[in-house]
Structure 1
Amino acid sequence: MARQPIFLNGIEFKFQKDAIEHFKNMLERYRNGQSIAGDDRDMLLALLERHPEADKKIGCGVKRLYKDRTDMPTSCFWIERTDGARTDFSYRTAISAKRKSLYQEFLEACRVAVQDDLLVAKKEYFEKWGDRDKKVKCHITGDKVAIYESHLDHKKPLTFEVLVYTFISANDIEIKPEMLLMSQDAQFQTTMIDQELKDKFRLYHHKTAKLRVIKAEQNLSLGGSERIRKSRNPVLIPKELLGD
């Protein structure tokens, strides 16, 4: 079936990537806390109508649209309703006009389960291996990178998605909605309700994952043809996070 173009406020986007680029640039033009105004506001309202949870997001009505921070080091579009309530608004979700599958929600909850531990591991790695400028080598290019210029990458073949899949299979898990606390107003990520399951995944991940530091832009350009090499200085999860 041929891809359908996206029409928003009289403007045609032939491909989703074109719409993503448009709204990404829009977001970057505004400061945190600044209201979206003029033609940008009209475009964003038109996009909001495509969101799979548009009725829930809009609620009693939109008072203003603005940019602000999330609970992570990123910013996104926000909605302030006429009753004063506020909620976040993902332009990518609205462009795709699709809800996340239950598996995708579980995958996100797994990421949330380990994200704090990975921040600790990354910080300790830079403290141990950093040079005088507190930089380490990218495991792919060899270029020196600072902690804020880098990502932690799950080295193939044990990508994060593979770890989650094998965890589900090994533990015969049937994913159910009641296992997860889905994102809500001002809650940006899906989390696990069952603390025991969360801890079980954390330990499985920490004992299985092969981590490395790479340049941030490399994380977006890794292809299937990447040669698998042994990491000289792998990123290790601190022992105190591994449990018994």
Structure 2
Amino acid sequence: MREIIKIGKQEFKFKKDALLYYKSILNSYHFEELLNKEHFNDILSLLEYDYAFEIEKYRRQGQKAYNIIEYSKIKNIKISKVQFNTKCFELLFEDSSSKQISYTYIINRPKITADSTFNIACRNTIIKDMNLVKRKYFETHSINGQVKCQETNEFSKWEDLVVDHRQPNTFSIIVDRFKEVSKIDLEKIEYFTDANNFLLFKNEELKEDFRNYHKQKATLRVVKKECNSSRAGMAKIKKNTKDLSID
């Protein structure tokens, strides 16, 4: 039987229902508006939901949970603007500091294992590289804030597009091959969480090794989110002029 997702007083049968609920809250406000009391409590409940996953993550790493958000010190929550007019929730703390959060990341968080923890650290290692690819593509091809999806040729906004790894070198394949060639012992890998709450490798050499390996192996496209799915039937093909790479 499918486990119900319980976030505060709200219960959701599927993750997509939880995502739609928090998306509706986000879209019901203008930029810089503060959340009302009901929605403020909804976000606090989401942070408490996230807290349980963080505790488990740190337990696996043998660390204390130093960087978990202290939601009791949140004074307000507002709607903040990120790149290309995308909305997000921003926590405003009593000490005048602030922090943006992603409700989609919190809700979509996968079950924590040694393997998934390693994969998360790998993905966080290349975040800047992937964002740079997307930003450069927009800077070069944007028309009125939109670019063509390289899969469908449909014009789309920033928030509707992702950087996709072309078959056969999907991100998971690249990570798996890196673990093989580097003879990674998952139980010996050490991690830390940076100021932005990203899980990263403690070993800088390992981080750079993966980043460089990914640069060599990744063939990228900027595509609509719905196109970012498995293409098991595709054979190995050579790069062409539409393919993007990390500088």
**Do the structures match in fold with TM over 0.5?**
yes
Q: Distance in 2 between matches of 1:193 and 1:200?
A: 13
Label 1:160 to 1:196 Cα distance change in 2 as closer, same or farther (>3 A). same
Question: In the alignment, is the contact (CA less than 8 A) between 2:47 and 2:71 conserved in 1?
Answer: no
Higher radius of gyration, 1 or 2: 1
* Deviation, structure 1 residue 170: 1.2
Q: Which residue of 1 aligns with 2:172?
A: 161
Show CA shifts across 1:142-179 (max 9, x none). x2547946543211221111101210121012246874
Q: Per the alignment, do residues 75 and 112 of structure 1 end up closer, same or farther by CA in structure 2, a change over 3 Å counting?
A: farther
- Larger displacement relative to structure 2 (150-159 or 78-87): 78-87
Q: Identity of counterpart residues, as a percentage? A: 26
SS at match of 1:109: helix
Q: Say if 2:168 and 2:234, in contact at 8 Å, map to a contact too.
A: no
- What is the rounded CA distance, in whole Å, between the counterparts of 1:85 and 1:124 in structure 2? 30
SS at match of 2:34: coil
Contact 1:93 1:99 in 2 (8 A): no
Q: Secondary structure of the residue that 2:22 maps to in structure 1? A: helix
Q: Does 1:235 align with 2:243?
A: yes
1:191 is the counterpart of 2:200 = yes
Contact 1:6 / 1:15 at 8 angstroms: preserved in 2? no
Q: What does the per-residue CA deviation read over 1:73-125, in whole Å, with 9 as the maximum and x for residues that have no partner?
A: 85533333445554444434654687744543433332343344445556667
Contact in 2 for aligned 1:57/1:87 (Cα 8 Å) = no
Matched, 1:215 2:224: yes
1:151 and 1:215 in contact (8 A); partners too: yes
Is the Cα contact below 8 Å between 1:69 and 1:75 reproduced in 2? yes
In the TM superposition, residue 36 of structure 1 has moved relative to its aligned partner by 1.2
Q: Give the unaligned 5+ runs of structure 2.
A: 56-64
Q: How far is 1:17 from its partner?
A: 2.0
Summarize the Cα distance change of 1:29–1:101 in structure 2 as closer, same or farther, 3 Å threshold. Answer: farther
Check if 1:57 corresponds to 2:81: no
Instruction: Pick from 193, 213, 226 the counterpart of residue 182 of structure 1.
Output: 193
Q: Which amino acid aligns with 1:158?
A: N
- Partner amino acid for 2:119? L
Match of 1:202 among 193, 211, 216: 211
Matched, 1:27 2:39: no
AA of the residue aligned to 1:168: K
2: CA distance between counterparts of 1:95 and 1:132?
A: 33
Provide the C-alpha distance between the structure 2 equivalents of 1:100 and 1:121, rounded to a whole number of angstroms. Answer: 29
The answer to whether the aligner puts 1:39 opposite 2:50 as a matched pair is no
**CA distance in structure 1 between the aligned counterparts of 2:208 and 2:107, rounded to whole angstroms:** 34
| Residues 1:198 and 1:63: Cα distance change in structure 2 (over 3 Å) | same
Task: Measure, in 2, the Cα distance between the counterparts of 1:26 and 1:93.
Answer: 16
Against the structure 1 CA distance between its residues 71 and 181, is the aligned structure 2 distance closer, same or farther, given a 3 Å change threshold?
Answer: farther
Query: 1:63·1:80 contact (CA, 8 Å) conserved in 2?
Result: yes
**2-structure distance, mates of 1:20, 1:150:** 17
- After TM superposition, the score normalised by the length of structure 2 is 0.68
The CA distance in 2 between the partners of 1:204 and 1:99, in whole Å, is 26
Q: What is the DSSP-based 3-state SS (H/G/I as helix, E as strand, rest coil) of the residue aligned with 1:57?
A: coil
Separation of aligned partners in 1, 2:29 and 2:108: 23
* TM-score with structure 1 setting the length: 0.69
